[in-house]
Structure 1
Amino acid sequence: MKKVLVACIENWDTLQEVPFVLHEGGCTVDVFCSKYSWLITNSYYNNWIECSDDEKLYIKELIALAEKKDQPYDWIIPADEKLLKILNDAITDEALFYKILPLTKIESREILASKAGLSRFCQDHSIASPKYIIYDHKNNFDATTLKLNYPVLLKQDLSWGGGGILFCENEEAFKKNILLTNKAYSTIIQEYITGKDIGVEALFRNGELLEYNTGEVLTYFGDKFNFTTKRNYFNSKRLANELSYIGKQIGINGFASIQFIYKPEDDIYYLLEVDMRPNIWVPYGRFTGHNFSEAVKKFLDPLSPPEIKNTDEEKITEVALFYRDIIRCFKFHDFKGILQWLFNYKHYWKFVPTYDKVLSKKIFKELFGNKIKKRISVLFKIKSKG
């Protein structure tokens, strides 16, 4: 069996089912994380290696694991944006870079955990993306001289997962919000495009697309700059071709979480984000005909052809994230959404990870702890008043 190491420095719930995907792909899975990580709240990893709380020590420990000669890893997956950024800043040796980071082109490293880097890359490689200006805060400027077409977005170059994004409807909002940005990091002033938000999870091997799953966003956790909890998944040969081009140009070698916005008037998919890590939606590909466990087998077998079999463009599958969507329903008083889960709307119950007792126990404990009990009581008070 191939040996894989999944590493994370943050404690996101994003990774809760990633070991399952890798295990089903025929891998022995080691995880390198803290004792508080969601990465160990499942039954499908083989070995937990506890990491240091100190960032510098963490990087040294991870590099030592990558360089070990006895039973070396076939694949190392840095699984969160913060870790990708820290590793990208720390690694100068080219051989080590290719061993740990998910790229086959070191010249593309400016994209890793950098929105400014991605914007520049898209411009240089004729990839459709929003217009932008990079402001480094070194010089003051008059907003009126920029001649911006409002609305615009302010994106901090340290942000990920929708964080650090400010919407500016007009010049007054722009002047107010620019003062809220962190001057230690560049700020991207980006054109705001309206259209259909499209989320993609994909797996590439040496720049070649092995599998992808595309979904139009149905529900956000709050505003549209936050993470999503429901999507309508569909097949698209056109998007597969777009992804193939992007993967080859960047040289992606691993998982990627990619965001587009489709503007019907232009008939263009504008590229917004490329985060080179697995996202929370990857395990759900098995419900849409895009099983990433099968793609993992291809990734680890260099002789397997990069062929995508499921191309039926008429099929649409609604997928909801069990844990996150239920929290959203209670937090934002979505009584209809709660009823959908209670009555197995569109077979939602199949998204509950009952295959894993350890993970199920963790999720139900989180869902029905004191916080949710309070939200339930508040929700029913609101309904009774209505």
Structure 2
Amino acid sequence: MQFDLVGQDPQSSARAGQLHTAHGVIETPIFMPVGTAGAVKGVHARELVEQVEAQIILGNTYHLYLRPGLEVLYKAGGLHRFNGWQGPILTDSGGYQVYSLAANRKIKEEGVTFTSHIDGSKHVFTPERVMDIQRIIGADIVMAFDECPPYPCEYSYAQKSWELTWRWLNRCCERFDSTEPHYGYAQYLFPIVQGGCFKDLRRQSAEQIVSLDRAGNAIGGLSVGEPAELMYEMTALTCEILPAHKPRYLMGVGTPENILESIALGVDMFDCVMPTRNGRNGMLFTTQGIINIKNKKWEEDFSPLDETLGGYVSTHYNKAYLRHLIISKEILGAQIASIHNLRFYLWLVRQARQHILAGTFSTWKPQAVRQLMQRL
């Protein structure tokens, strides 16, 4: 995978880059809309391009494996042809679902036995099986199979969890390297740094992963309930070890503030369900701050959602109308809010990139955080 660094902030570790894939070039730092089951909820592929200006989206191995299933995806020619998204795709390996479905799974050396949340059927994910599934899905970037320890957890648990993840990672690499893509374009495997919130385990995990020399690297096991400052501490420690000439992906993060602070630490790639999930519940992210559109103060506010963002959705619809839709539980309200919030998140990382290239990121970031995180 070709990753070109094109800019570096002089006062922090923030950097701008270009990540080349078979389905297009990704300008970093980048935010990836989450399309868990092959769809970003309520958002057409055309809207992802024209309104959101997304460059890459995320899918999930666990959910796609269960539904629509591998046979359908293979016959379709992979997820790109199945869902009509022509840009790059990254797939999460299902490790986080293993974490979140704790009551319905058993973890062993061989892999994970879990019960489907759809119909109660039993399934087994091994590192080898997860690589095979992601080959069939056809994502440009595939993630290694890992175990995500909870927060808080005992040191001994985090250590055993990372050791298991390391053994699984080696099996992932062996299977991935011994197989070929199904659809005629290159795929790339990213390992995931784990180790809980223990510095020595994080350091050991990152150093071992660096030794594998894969195309890029991910930081997992954060944003699972730990304080933000602890998340930043673990991220900073990890970024100092991961090679600068390869992309760094912080999984499942987060708020606008989380993203800007993590960019300053050297992270290039982000994903989170927050813009769509919170949007469906009436929270709007804007260039002036955060809005709870359900509040009565917006009942007669006929101003656009956010003229600064541009785009049809954010400039065409007004706050009073969106409030009406959300309160009435109209599907259109969820769609408008989701598209608007995703456009904001992509605007945010573009702004960060521009300031990195201009050498002004470190002076711009504190002001941006204060403004963007205030409640209106």
- Normalising by structure 2, we get a TM-score of 0.31
Between the two structures, name the one with larger relative contact order (CA 8 Å, sep ≥ 6). Answer: 2
Higher helix share: 2
Name the larger-Rg structure: 1
